[in-house]
Amino acid sequence: MSAKAIYRTVWRWHFYAGLLVKPLILVLALSGAAYLFKPQIERWEERSFQQQPVAGTVLASAQVAAAQAALPGAKFIFYRLPERPGDAAMVHLALPGHAGMRDVFVSPQGRVLGSLDPDARIIAWDRKVHGQLLLGRPGSWLVELAASWAIVMILSGLYLWWPRGTGLAGVVWPRWTAHGRPFWRDLHAVAGFWVSSLALVLLITGLPWADVWGSAFKAVRAEMGWVKGRQDWTVGGRPAGGAGNLHAEHDHAAMMQAMPGMAHDTPARFDPVRFDAMVDHAHAEQLAFPAVVVPPGAPAGEGGAGKPATGWVVKSEAQDRPLRLTLRYDAGNGALVAREDFASRHPIDKVVAVGVAWHEGQLFGWVNQLIGLLTALMLVTLVVSGFVMWRRRKPESGLGAPPALTGPVWPRGWGFRVLALFLLVWLPLFTLSLVTVALVERLVLPRLPGLSRWLGIPARVPG
C-alpha cells in the first residue's frame, strides 16, 4: 500500500473516531477540569463552617453526639477531622428510613452549624457526569468507549501531524498569518501535537476506573497474584471489593442496603472513650486531609463494598494516593491490628495510585492542577477546531468523510499491524465496537445505499 493510501486510510479512521467521541470528549474535558479543583470547590462549599473560635473545644465524641441529636434516629458512619484549626468537624450520618446521607458540621464547641447532602454537592454531581454521564452503569460504558476511541483518535492524529518536510510552521507552532481553513488546520494540528502525550496519560490512567477495563484488570491482578491490600479506587463508579473514598467515592446505595445489619442501638457499637482515643491517634499520625475515623459496624465499605467495618479504622483519604495511610484497630481492646501505607502496596497498585493522583490533579499540588487544566482546554480547542474544519469542508449532500479506498482498508506494514493488535487486545470496548461497525457495514448498509453514500462508505452488493 502506498504512503498516500496509508495516509488516506488513517485520515478516515481519525475522522470517524473524532466524529464518534468529540461530543463526549468535550463533556469529559469540562467536567474533568472542574474535578481538578475538588479541594478548593469543597472548601468553598463548606465556607460557612470554617474559622470558628477555638476556645472551649469539646471532645470529638461530644461532636458526634450533637450531630446525632440534631438528626434523631440517624446512624453514625464516620467522622472527618477538621482540616484547619477553627474548622468544623464533619459527621457523616445515615438518615433513618433509608432517606439518604447527611454531612453534619459541628463546631469545635459542639454546636451544629448545618448540614449538606453529600449526593447533592457540586463535585458529587460533577463526578457522575465525568464517570457515568448521569446515566449510571451504561454511562460508564459510554465513557470507556469514548476514551478507547479517543486513544485511537490521538494516535491517528499524530500520524497525520508527523512532519513531511514542510517545516515547523503549522507543525510545532501555527502559521500566524494563515486565515480560513489553514488557520483552523494549524490550530488543530499544533494543539493536537502539544496535548497528545498529556491526553494519552489522562486516558490511560482513567482506564482502571472504567467498568469493563477495570473489571478485567482486577481479575488479571487476582489471577497473577498482584493483589496486596485493598484496592482503593472504584470500578465503574462502584467500590472494587474494598474501601473506596469514604466521602467521595463510597456507594451510598450499598451502604443503605447494609444498614439493616447495624444494631438499632448505635451506642452499643459506639464507645465514646475508645472513639476519642482513635481521634487522638489520627492527630498523632498527622494524617493528610481528609482524615476520617470509622467505628466498628459502620457500613462504610471497610469490610468490602457496603459491608460493615469489623474494627476501628483511622485513615487518610487524600487524593494524593502516596500520602494515604490506613490504621486498623481491634474493636475490643483498641490494639493496632494493621498499618497500610503506600510503601506496603503491590508495585502495580503503586503505579495505578500515582496515575490516579495525576489524573485527579493532586500528585504535586497546584502545578498538577494547572497542567490538567491546560490539557482540558487544549482538548476543547481540538474539539472546536475539528468541528469548524469539518463544517467548512462538509458537502450539503453527505457527511464529508475523507474519500474511501477501493482496495484493502488495512495498511500492510508490520508497525500498523502490531499497533492494531495491541489496541484490539488492550481496549475491549473498542474491539467490540469495531465488530459491531463491521457487521452493520456488511449486513445493514448494503440495504440502505442512500445512507451509505451519505456516510461516505463504498456501497456493497448484498450477498
246 and 320 in a common domain? yes
- This prediction has a pTM of 0.85
Considering the domain architecture, whether residues 251 and 320 belong to the same structural domain is answered as yes
pLDDT averaged over the chain? 85
Rounded to the nearest 5°, which phi and psi values hold at 56?
75, 30
Q: Which residue has the higher pLDDT, 368 or 395?
A: 368
222 occurs within a structural domain: no
Q: How far apart are CA 355 and CA 197, in angstroms?
A: 14
Answer yes or no: do 451 and 386 share one domain: yes
Range of the domain at 100: 46-120+230-346
Q: For residue 358, tell me if it sits in a domain.
A: no
Q: Quick check: 288 pLDDT over 90?
A: yes
Name the least confident of 204-218, 299-313, 418-432: 299-313
Burial of 106 (0-12, 13-18, 19+ CB in 10 A): buried
Measured at the CA of 130, the angle between CA 125 and CA 131, to 5 degrees, comes to: 100
What pLDDT is stored for residue 225 in this prediction? 78
Of residues 424 and 247, more confidently modeled: 424
Q: Looking at residue 145, what is its pLDDT?
A: 93
Could you give the angle at the alpha carbon of 324 between the alpha carbons of 319 and 326, nearest 5°? Answer: 135
pLDDT of residue 143: 93
> Last residue of a domain, which of 346, 376, 398?
346
Together in a domain, 315 and 253: yes
Question: With 70 as the cut, is the pLDDT of residue 245 above it?
Answer: no
218 in a domain, yes or no? no
Q: What percentage of the chain exceeds 70 in pLDDT?
A: 85
Q: Write out pLDDT tens, residues 202-231.
A: 999 988 888 898 888 888 888 887 777 677
- Same-domain pairing of 115 and 161: no
* Residues in a beta bridge with 293: 79, 314
In terms of domains, do 22 and 163 share one?
Answer: yes
Query: 291, 315 in Cβ contact below 8 A?
Result: yes
Residue 88 falls within a domain, yes or no? yes
pLDDT band per the 50, 70, 90 thresholds, residue 58: very high
pLDDT at 420 (0 to 100): 82
Look-up of cell digits 450539503: 396
Asked if 93 and 29 sit in the same domain, the reply is no
Establish if 373 belongs to a structural domain: yes
What tens digit of pLDDT does each residue of 185-197 get? 888 888 888 889 9
Domain boundary residue, one of 311, 346, 381: 346
**Least trusted range by pLDDT, from 163-177, 253-267, 302-316, 325-339:** 253-267
Q: What is the pLDDT of residues 99-136, one digit of tens each?
A: 899 999 999 999 999 999 999 999 999 999 999 999 99
- Domain shared by 337 and 307, yes or no: yes
Residues 459 and 389 reside in one and the same domain? yes
Question: Tell me, what's the pLDDT at 1?
Answer: 58
Query: Which three cell numbers, joined as nine digits, stand for 456?
Result: 461516505
The count of domains in the chain is 2
104 and 241 assigned to the same domain: yes
**Confidence band of 270 (pLDDT split at 50, 70, 90):** confident
pLDDT tens digits along 439-462: 888 889 888 888 888 887 776 655
Q: Is residue 351 part of a domain?
A: no
pLDDT bucket at 167, cuts 50 / 70 / 90: low
* 3-state secondary structure at position 320: coil
pLDDT at 411: 58
Do 135 and 192 fall into the same domain? yes
Final residue of a domain: which of 346, 380, 397?
Answer: 346
Q: Are 290 and 88 in contact (CB under 8 A)?
A: no
441 secondary structure, DSSP code: I
- Bigger pLDDT: 198 vs 421: 198
217 located within any domain: no
| Structure-model confidence comparison of residues 84 and 239, the more confident one | 84
If asked whether residues 134 and 29 sit together in one domain, one would say yes
Give the range among 411-415, 420-424, 433-437 with minimum mean pLDDT. 411-415
More confident position, 445 or 280: 280
Map 150-173 to HEC letters.
HHHHHHHHHHHHCCCCCCCECCCE
Least confident of 112-126, 167-181, 198-212, 351-365: 167-181
